[in-house]
Amino acid sequence: MAQDKAPAMCEKAACPNIGECWNKHHAAMMILGSVCTRACAFCNVATGTPDKLDPHEPENLARAIKKLNLKYVVITSVDRDDLLDGGVSQFVKCIEEIRKITPETTIEILTPDFLNKKGAFEAIAVASPDVYNHNIETVPRLYAKIRPRARYFHSLYLLKMVKQTNPKLFTKSGLMVGLGETKEEVLQVMDDLRNAEVDFITIGQYLQPTPKHAKVDRYITPEEFEHYNILLILKDF
């Protein structure tokens, strides 16, 4: 990370909602480099040999947030399966530096699954961001196609354990639709996340970032989204 400059995940992932969020002084910053060790079928972030960790990244990130006057920031990262702790220590340092330099900023942490990294997500929960987000992404049946190196029930376990580790934390997860899932499968994911004590769920239309990524199966209608919204309210999200 360059001095006083943080790479925005919004740009790296070619997010179509970038203008709406940035206009509200919200942004997602990506740490741990710009190259991922995984190759999920929906994600536009580059896959390959990861960058070396920048020891000054936490401080530079906090300075960038202050300079941009961000009211709300999401700190996310590439998957770093090559690191012993998956990059957890860098997440913790970033939280600490943001609290020190710009304590008024609300911090949401959006983490990978830290598969096979013992104690990883619990350590971030103890560092007490305002929100701990880990996206479930899709329904279990589509994991082999969409998230081939991830495990659905591990992600549920992560969210459950974060809440148990720090009950004061808000937990959050996101689900993409339009990948070929059924309505019944979406409802099951809602129930699974409710059982994992997740506080907030976001449901959004999957958009294909490039022709090489997973194709859009269909576009969900506004009426269907409204139906999902009603169900989330009924399920106490």
Binding site as annotated, residues for [4Fe-4S] cluster: 10, 15, 21, 36, 40, 43
As a whole number of angstroms, the distance between CA 37 and CA 189 comes to: 26
CA 222 vs CA 44, 188, 229: distances in Å: 26, 21, 10
Side-chain half-sphere of 44: how many Cα atoms within 13 Å? Answer: 14
Q: Which of 111, 62, 56, 63 is nearest to 87 (CA)?
A: 111
Binding-site residues, in ranges, read 10, 15, 21, 36, 40, 43
As a whole number of angstroms, the distance between CA 3 and CA 5 comes to: 5
* 8 Å CB contact between 43 and 137: no
- Provide the angle, in degrees to the nearest 10, between the axes of the packed helices 152-165 and 183-195: 30
Residue 200 φ then ψ, to 5°: -130, 140
As a whole number of angstroms, the distance between CA 75 and CA 64 comes to: 12
